[in-house]
Chains A and B, each alone.
Chain A
């Protein structure tokens, strides 16, 4: 019997492949398809624009300070600006709003609030971004190894994850901050706010990886059973190639989502740490320490209290919306 005699020969497929009508279609990866879906989601796109504005401000602020456009440090403490008799509250509408100081002046010192906030975005985002990168990198590598190798390695990494999760990290931050910062300085990092910022980044990052390790491990457990992994083994692919070329590209979706959902958590975590006096210290501004400063003026100068809180809320909500939108776009089956 012949299977094929009355059927099209296998060259039919070939002619389909060379059809000129198909030629102009450029290759679109699954990621590109997901991004097309993301662009259709209006709310997520709006949030993305907000995030982009923050990032842009954060990147440009140091240049603004350098060229004198932003002035977050000079005092305007003369009686011309501040009402020295009644607690140095800025004179004028809503905490001293004027053309030269669009968001008013800081009570007590008279520094420009707008400059401090914009410059504060730089430090807040730098800390949050670095901490997120540390957490996601550690979590990804440990998760891939744990899921792919299995056995004792998996068990060991699993217990390490449990241990890290059960560690009281807030307590650690408070109790050990002095000691840890001293160690960081000893390791050659310039003392002061650089060491302080590095401490916050390391603590957030080193305690933040367990959830991502678990998510990645779960994904890898399913990916490693797919046949393309066997195909790679059959080629004799070395381990490094398996982890980073075969498995990792299939993890971009959950990683990207997790990344955008961790960022806002760390922005607010930085603010909380600033309140507990373990983050970057004034006069260097972060959104967190500006908010901390403003709390005592919440009734006397409400606008000064409101602006940093509002900025933190907006960036956190926007990042979360972007994360949700990415999740929907990257995994269409998971959407509602």
Chain B
């Protein structure tokens, strides 16, 4: 195997800041950017930074002495950023850990490891008392509008409850504020005295949104906010969320399994599989140039109206088998049991989430566009292993690879060296 050439492709925008860049011309202009840079992602300061987040649920044996016999590795080392005022979409199939991630960020669950930095403050280990001020900043929109509203409370008391608990306004100011909120989400403010059972699903979801807005949060975790709604109502609620985002400058972590909804809402999208991020990129890169075989399979499963109209069917990538158990996930790459590209290295070495474009990270040894996957692992040289995934004695393992939450200004260029052994990162 020939030694890889050292290639870094700079991102445009502000010149690279400091020592993270390579020696080979890291401050070139935007004209020489990566092969397919299409969208500009709003990249302000991240409001939320999730670093190596991990959630293992213990599995207890039955009987009186309930020993822990294993762990459900629901979320295992997930890192990402949500830019202030931006929206990150988190997609994946059922059971891949995306809802658990949402519940960790809102601290309904306490992570087993990792950091959740909200505006620079790590909230992963805060006690309930310490969390109380943070609760005002991070709110959640729930999936099921039928169980997320207490059936015995009026709309007014549901929407006004956060005000009462946090005592942000005097008691006699609660009702005007509630009515204002109902108006913002497009409900009749005179309906504050009604019960949830008198509203339709879409209206109930609006009530849930109003409740989430009550404390004027900076980050909203939307856990499949529209998947329980009719398609026509989905559009209304999505548009409402977009209006709110624009008006109140709220950041979103948008969890969904509907790729079309995510594409509409989120400029940046992360794909999860079995507790890990497999690919994260800006919207256009992810949807037009997915590099991970799982992302490609997901996207190929989306029905395409245009394609159907001209009579053809797009080639579907069919995945064989089921999702493995998160209690005992496969070694190396978790997707390898169903991956058409899997080779020996995939079982031996876990692929790092390598940055391969200005806003594109992918965790695959053979990352490439559909039909153009490289034949040799792109990550081998980075990891210091040979093509079969065996550790090369002279190379030290770099385990922190790809664990940084954000995007850096340099990345591994996989396109210029297709067929070769790939590229490596700068040092």
Contact = CB atoms under 8 A, between A and B. Distances in A.
Nearest to A228: B150
B297 to A, nearest CB: 20
A236 B148 contact: no
A23 B190 CA distance: 9
A236 B260 contact: no
A230 interface: yes
Interface residues of A, number: 40
B144 to A, nearest CB: 6
A192 B162 CA distance: 52
Contacts of B186: 10-11, 13-14, 17
B396 interface: no
B27 to A, nearest CB: 37
Contact of A226 (B128, B147, B188, B195): B147
Interface string B113-147: 00000000000000010011001000110111001
B426 interface: no
Nearest to A33: B197
Contact of A230 (B108, B151, B197, B264): B108
B263 interface: yes
Interface stretch (B198-206, B336-344, B417-425): B198-206
A235 B198 contact: no
Contacts of B142: 227, 230-231
Given A27-B194, A227-B143, A228-B147, A235 B162 contact: yes
B140 A4 contact: no
Contact of B232 (A8, A11, A16, A227): A8
A246 B150 contact: yes
A249 B198 contact: no
Interface string A1-29: 11110011111111011100001010111
Given A10-B186, A13-B236, A228 B195 contact: no
Interface stretch (B237-245, B359-367, B379-387): B237-245
B150 A234 contact: no
- Tell which of B103, B144, B154, B188 has the most Cβ of chain A within 10 Å: B188
B57 to A, nearest CB: 15
A19 to B, nearest CB: 9
A228 B203 contact: no
Contacts of A238: 165
B313 interface: no
A31 to B, nearest CB: 8
Contacts of B139: 234
Contacts of A233: 108
A236 B193 CA distance: 24
Interface in A230-257: 230-238, 241, 246, 249-250, 252
Q: How large is the interface on B (under 10, 10 to 19, 20 to 34, 35 or more residues)?
A: 35 or more
B34 to A, nearest CB: 24
Given A3-B234, A230-B108, A231-B211, A17 B264 contact: no
A31 B151 CA distance: 10
Please report whether the interface of chain A is mostly helix, strand, loop or mixed according to DSSP: helix
- Tell which of B132, B135, B239, B243 has the most Cβ of chain A within 10 Å: B239
- Tell which of B143, B150, B153, B166 has the most Cβ of chain A within 10 Å: B150
B347 interface: no
Contacts, number: 120
Contacts of B215: 235
A195 to B, nearest CB: 40
- Tell which of A18, A27, A234 has the most Cβ of chain B within 10 Å: A234
Nearest to B187: A17
B198 A1 contact: no
Nearest to A10: B236
B149 interface: yes
Nearest to B232: A7
B131 A3 contact: no
Contacts of A241: 165
Contact of A30 (B131, B197, B202): B197
B246 interface: no
Contact of B135 (A2, A226, A234): A234
A9 B240 CA distance: 9
Given A23-B190, A241-B165, A249 B153 contact: yes
Contacts of A31: 152
A292 B384 CA distance: 94
B161 interface: yes
B397 to A, nearest CB: 40
A27 B132 contact: no
Given A7-B235, A8-B236, A13 B128 contact: no
A12 B237 CA distance: 11
A16 to B, nearest CB: 8
A220 to B, nearest CB: 14
A4 B260 CA distance: 11
B392 interface: no
B43 interface: no
Interface string B216-239: 000000000000000011111111
Contacts of A226: 147-148
Given A10-B235, A27-B195, A231-B148, 6 more contacts: A7-B232, A7-B236, A10-B236, A16-B203, A231-B149, A237-B161
Interface of B: 103, 106, 108, 128, 131-132, 135, 139-140, 142-144, 147-154, 161-162, 165-166, 186-188, 190-191, 193-195, 197-198, 202-203, 206, 208, 211, 215, 232-240, 243, 260-261, 263-264
21 contacts: A1-B264, A3-B235, A3-B261, A9-B239, A10-B186, A10-B235, A10-B236, A13-B203, A17-B186, A17-B191, A30-B152, A226-B148, A231-B148, A231-B208, A232-B161, A234-B140, A235-B166, A236-B128, A237-B161, A238-B165, A252-B152
